[in-house]
Amino acid sequence: MQPSEADPSSRIQQALAAVRALVIPVDGVLNGGRMTIDGSGREICSISLRDATALKEALKQGLIVAVVSERDAEAYRPLLEQLGVTSLYLNAESVFDAYVAFRDSAGLDDDSCAYIGDDLGDISVLEQVGFPVTPIDGTDYLRHRVAYISAYEGGKGCVREIVEMILMQQGKWSYMDHREA
């Protein structure tokens, strides 16, 4: 029996080592499942500063980041572009269609992609990617359908945790204390 077949943690390590891209939906994961509208009817976007910092570090270390949404989430475009995210699919027919368009345009295969999904609309992508993740507050239905359940809620550090895991496994998280190695 291969070690990866016997030890779930080694399967996770192998999947993390293969990740070249992280795909994140706006709703539930970046915005924590909250939508705020101002008095003029415009959406006000907000994401965790820890998640934002992690996205910048991911891009700096060569990880490709894509953000998807099945609704008009254009309010997030300026913030995400300021962070350096350029693969934005913010009004897609479906998150699956957005994922496939991104994967194909980036020249990636499924095994090189990670996806964080929190609800039923994410199932088709979670079933496709090499490293499927749900936040701790993701719907119960996903818990047995992902490789990893984050210790953090969507919009409250889940993205940061997954970025750290990927970069640490690949030796690219420069903030790791040498005593931790």
> Looking only at Cα atoms, what is the longest distance across the chain?
61
pLDDT for residue 161 is more than 90:
yes
Share of the chain above pLDDT 70, in %: 92
Binding residues for Mg(2+): 118
Enumerate the β-bridge partners of residue 171: none
- Closest-CA residue to 113 (of 60, 53, 63): 63
Share of the chain above pLDDT 90, in %: 77
122 vs 180: CA distance, rounded Å: 34
Binding residues: 27, 118
pLDDT score of 108: 98
The C-alpha torsion from 7 through 12 and 13 to 15, rounded to 10°, is: 130
Q: Could you read off the pLDDT of 118-142 as tens digits, one per residue?
A: 999 999 999 999 999 999 999 999 9
144 vs 54: CA distance, rounded Å: 26
36 vs 31: CA distance, rounded Å: 10
Q: Could you read off the pLDDT of 48-87 as tens digits, one per residue?
A: 999 999 999 999 999 999 999 999 999 999 999 999 999 9
Ramachandran quadrant class, 62 (left: phi over 0; alpha: psi -120 to 50; beta: rest):
left
pLDDT score of 8: 65
89 vs 97: CA distance, rounded Å: 9
120 vs 141: CA distance, rounded Å: 8
Q: Could you read off the pLDDT of 28-46 as tens digits, one per residue?
A: 999 887 777 788 888 788 8
155 vs 25: CA distance, rounded Å: 11
Residue 176's pLDDT band, with cuts at 50, 70 and 90, is low
Asked if 181 and 168 touch (Cβ cutoff 8 Å), the reply is no
The number of angstroms, rounded, from the C-alpha of 157 to the middle of its chain's C-alpha atoms is: 11
Q: Which two tokens stand for residue 78?
A: 């300026």
Binding residues for substrate: 27
pLDDT for residue 181 is more than 50:
no
Domain architecture of the chain: domains with CATH: 3-174 (3.40.50.1000)
| pTM, 2 dp | 0.90
